[in-house]
Structure 1
Amino acid sequence: MKTLFILFFSIPLLSACSGGASKINGHPNIVYILADDMGYGDVSCFNENSQIHTTHMDRLADQGMIFTDAHSNSAVCTPTRYGVLTGRYAWRTRLKDGVLWSYDEHLIAPERMTVASLLKKKRYRTACIGKWHLGLDWEKDEEGRTLLTRPIKNGPNANGFDYFYGITASLDIPPYLYIENDRVTTVNIDTVEATSGKGFWRKGPIGDDFKHIEVLPRLTDKAVGFINTQSKQAEPFFLYFPLPAPHTPILPTNEFRGKSGTNTYGDFVLMVDDVVGQVMAALDQNGIKDNTLIIVTSDNGCSPLADYNELAEFGHDPSYIFRGHKADIFEGGHRVPFIARWPAKITAGSETDEIICLTDLMATCAAIVGVDLPDNAGEDSYNMLPVLMGEKIAHPIREATVHHSVNGSFSIRQGKWKLEFCPGSGGWSPPTPEVARQENLPPIQLYNLVEDIGETNNLTQQNQQIVENLTALMKKYISDGRSTPGSAQKNEGETPLMMD
């Protein structure tokens, strides 16, 4: 469910002339904004034919670097978020397909290092503001009923965050409650009926202080407030800001309705772009722009609920030139926009085609604060700082990258070659897994993405050795419990390479 993210690293200043507060340990502030279900083609600096003009993200790109080959570790919501915070592929946990729901228990093991707990040990103030969607342990009564007003266990506070304000999961999944730290903010809880269409949400409990259309503005105010407060403190800070938009319910406020010239989804994307602009303004106003690295990305591809056919009438494709969309093993499911700006270090207006993954945040943060990760942390995370710094590197930073679809199908990418271990999309676009089986399509797919970015020409028969090599590497990544150098680790449960 992609969400977009922005990452900020502030460097120590030699003087106070820029207005940034000197940090006690010299480490940078980090702010990470993750948009939800925003397509690669929805950000106009990545799509020359985009009919949605994201002026704030375009300005960020003009002042920094864009990554044209960045990927979420999954084509849906929960597993991507797990990967971002732990540097580990989520299929190594009990979650082998799909996503968690609001009443599901925590996914991140209490003993596992997260980006937040890593940075907290380096005296960072850490906050999560936004959509959690990684499971919460709600208290239940003797009959198994969830007690929504009781303290919550194993949420963000248990995973390294000093402060949490946000929602349990996607904005269309109940319960619809704000949570501050380990308690909901409301006393009175009612029931809201389901809605349909682009403004879809499910029936469920709702707090008397909760209105769906107000959620994104409220979370943005909280995030900007955190930046305003912490920028004046001696300690560095880490803000993880996962947005609930432009995921359903698609609810642009009146200020943005009709602004894109497309449909309400396009308007909602512009509202997300405005959130980016507000964060950028907060950095400017607090004098920390020059010593801050900002990264903007998304959690997966655009959802079909954005209405691709309607958007096509306006000449817009959220997936750009890529096949598929959210949930799919195809590029449209997991190739995401990724922008980095760091005026002191990154060359403005630069571009790279280096393959990176959202799991790489952990190793990158560890490198920034000078920590060597233990073998049982960040098993699928690579340090991308050399790319950000424009260093010449002799080989790709990643040996290979694993992708994962909503039904648990795998693919592995190495250089120009992408091997998909399923006969269809593995997701929601045609051919769906059921149709692919009915039509007896080939069980694996191999594509040369340099020559065939649309993934239309299956080359398995002509390249058996490449298929064998990539299959062996994928099996090794599964059996070793990691894709980075280090001692072997254990996955939770069985992890089949191919679906039945």
Structure 2
Amino acid sequence: MKQILQLFALVFTLQIFSCSPKGQEQERQPNIIVILADDLGYGDIHAFNPDSKIPTPNIDALASGGMKFTDAHTPSAVCTPTRYGFLTGRYNWRSRLKSGVLTGKSKALIPDDRTTIADVLKGQGYNTAFIGKWHLGWDWGLKGDEENAGEGWNPQDFDAIDFAKTVTHTPNDLGFDYAYGHSGSLDMAPYVYVENGQVTAIPDTITVNTGKYSWWREGPTSPDFDHEKVTPNFFERSIQYIEEKSQDDKPFFLYLALPSPHTPILPPSEWQGKSGLMPFGDFMMMIDDYVGQVNAAIKNAGIEENTLVIFTSDNGGSPAAGLEEMAALGHLSNYTFRGNKADLYEGGHRVPFIAKWPAKINPGSTRSQTICLTDIMATSAEITGYALKENEGEDSYSLMGLFDADKEVDQFREATVHHSINGSFAIRQGEWKLLMAKGSGGWSFPKPGDPAEAELPEVQLYNLASDPGETTNLQAENPEKVAALKSLLSKYIKEGRSTSGAPQQNDKVEGEWKQIGFVE
């Protein structure tokens, strides 16, 4: 009888443990952290480039603890449009921004009724936070009813702003419970922090820096805004957020949008000279160290097992970092790929992409399928059981099937569209890539308008399996492939989506099709 009672007691105890908070933790939705670097090239991370001259042990540890994607791409080769695509799951050229980037003073690009990742996750019970570089426009308060004249490249363009007034159409209106950051790139004025729609300190000076790699444009600057301390500030606030929200009953989503290693390249004194490469290398070592601190905060909070961490970049490495000088020292920021930031060539938009989620992703795994940053939207939706509507995430495919390293996946996306700073298109399907431009469409040779470009064919076709460096244009030998890819690109543009579903409308602007280089 005593043995029977002991058996009942054991069963009862096991039932209690199965219902304990730790047991519940296994059932709750994962925390999601996306760290988006700025102008970080594929070759800047040692895990992706064994010949890299920059030590990145903490980012490498993320990769060894999770999954590397070796064929990951940004939806654009520059920052604003990539950030739009990441947050909405929709290609940027479907918005009103058909080329280029916004300034620090531009009006909001994403309308409040456009669903974002933050909207999806907040609706599914998440705490949501944005910390960092926004660069998607918001509406500054004005001193009067006058139009906010000027795009924000000159100090006088900011005279109409009343920094004491509430800023509207901010990340808080797009699903983020908490939002703290600055409006544009770290070289774009105004240099102020905005926290939940309020400027944290009124600008009291005009600053400018003209260093070769540390430059920023002249503009109003708040007393609490120190360019050198901006990246550390964002990391430290993010770590604090992780520590606080890990104690909550609700899961959290943190979008940490770094303004670095984009210019101004400002490694603090304790990091200067550490890489032996250039200021960019020192800056990258500092960033890597902070990523290690984020990793430690996650582990120390006891949430590592059920936290998805994604680390990636918004486009390829920039010439402003000194790409040629670093190459002479043996460091290839964009690895062996042709081109750089702003280009249709691979160097413009192929980026490192790491996903670590111990509960779901095998450590040390790798995927070679082509993916795009727009895919994080559908991934977040599937993770939380949210069904995207027809007008949500029109260019987003869920990565969940790829996270299972034991699952064979022949082809993931039907095709992927690339976009350059001047609004030129490329489309990639399997091993084939068609560029709807004579040259780079960006900043590398041959640039748009370069005399050498005039002598080139109208389009470029490359086989990336045999020619990953995009050295041999095969368009003349493969007219059928050119026609098929051009037709698919036209279909994606006209139907307002590249995923299955009902056709949607692109946001119209006057002369749209000509501006974005589309020909019927």
Tell me if TM exceeds 0.5: yes
Q: 1:320 to 1:14 in 2, by over 3 A?
A: farther
- Find 1:54's aligned residue among 53, 56, 60: 56
The structure with more radius of gyration: 2
- Aligned residues between the structures: 486
* 1:72 alignment counterpart: 74
* 1:41 alignment counterpart: 43
Is this contact kept in 2: 1:401–1:413, CA < 8 A? yes
Question: 1:332 & 1:386 partners in 2: Cα distance?
Answer: 27
Is this contact kept in 2: 1:423–1:437, CA < 8 A? no
Quote how far apart the aligned CAs of 1:489 are.
0.4
* 1:348 alignment counterpart: 363
Quote how far apart the aligned CAs of 1:394 are.
4.9
Deviations 1:345-368 (A, max 9, x none): 212111110110000011000100
Q: Secondary structure, in 3 states, of the residue corresponding to 1:198?
A: coil
Q: 1:396 to 1:15 in 2, by over 3 A?
A: farther
* 2:311 alignment counterpart: 296
479-488 or 389-398, which moves further after superposition?
389-398
Q: 1:16 to 1:445 in 2, by over 3 A?
A: farther
Matches within 5 A, 1:387-406: 387-406=402-421
- Find 2:287's aligned residue among 272, 278, 282: 272
Quote how far apart the aligned CAs of 1:15 are.
7.5
Is this contact kept in 2: 1:53–1:260, CA < 8 A? yes
Q: 1:21 to 1:78 in 2, by over 3 A?
A: farther
1:197 and 2:197 aligned: no
Matches within 5 A, 1:25-424: 26-140=28-142, 141-144=144-147, 145-424=160-439
Question: 2:191 & 2:517 partners in 1: Cα distance?
Answer: 37
1:433 and 2:448 aligned: yes
Question: 2:301 & 2:53 partners in 1: Cα distance?
Answer: 33
Is this contact kept in 1: 2:163–2:202, CA < 8 A? no
Q: Secondary structure, in 3 states, of the residue corresponding to 1:203?
A: strand
Deviations 1:402-428 (A, max 9, x none): 000000000000000000000000000
1:495 and 2:513 aligned: yes
Quote how far apart the aligned CAs of 1:17 are.
9.1
Q: 1:38 to 1:394 in 2, by over 3 A?
A: closer
Q: Secondary structure, in 3 states, of the residue corresponding to 2:426?
A: strand
User: Aligned partner of 1:296: which letter?
Assistant: F
User: Aligned partner of 2:498: which letter?
Assistant: S
Percent identity of equivalent pairs? 51
Question: 1:250 & 1:486 partners in 2: Cα distance?
Answer: 44
Structure 1: which 4+ aligned runs deviate by more than 3 Å?
13-18, 20-23, 436-439
Q: 1:16 to 1:167 in 2, by over 3 A?
A: farther
Quote how far apart the aligned CAs of 1:439 are.
3.3
Deviations 1:459-486 (A, max 9, x none): 0011111101000000000000000000
Q: Secondary structure, in 3 states, of the residue corresponding to 1:238?
A: strand
User: Aligned partner of 1:326: which letter?
Assistant: K
Is this contact kept in 2: 1:21–1:234, CA < 8 A? no
1:476 and 2:495 aligned: no
Q: 1:464 to 1:188 in 2, by over 3 A?
A: closer
Quote how far apart the aligned CAs of 1:143 are.
4.1
User: Aligned partner of 1:420: which letter?
Assistant: L
Q: Secondary structure, in 3 states, of the residue corresponding to 1:419?
A: strand
Is this contact kept in 2: 1:37–1:300, CA < 8 A? yes
TM-score by length of 2: 0.91
Is this contact kept in 2: 1:296–1:339, CA < 8 A? yes
Q: Secondary structure, in 3 states, of the residue corresponding to 1:472?
A: helix
Is this contact kept in 2: 1:482–1:488, CA < 8 A? yes
Q: Secondary structure, in 3 states, of the residue corresponding to 2:402?
A: helix
* 1:451 alignment counterpart: 466
Q: Secondary structure, in 3 states, of the residue corresponding to 1:103?
A: coil
TM-score by length of 1: 0.94
Is this contact kept in 2: 1:22–1:234, CA < 8 A? no
Structure 1 spans left out of the alignment, 5+ residues:
1-12
Structure 2 spans left out of the alignment, 5+ residues:
1-16, 148-159
Q: Secondary structure, in 3 states, of the residue corresponding to 1:193?
A: strand
* 2:3 alignment counterpart: none
Instruction: Identify, as 1 or 2, the structure richer in helix.
Output: 2
Question: 1:54 & 1:394 partners in 2: Cα distance?
Answer: 30
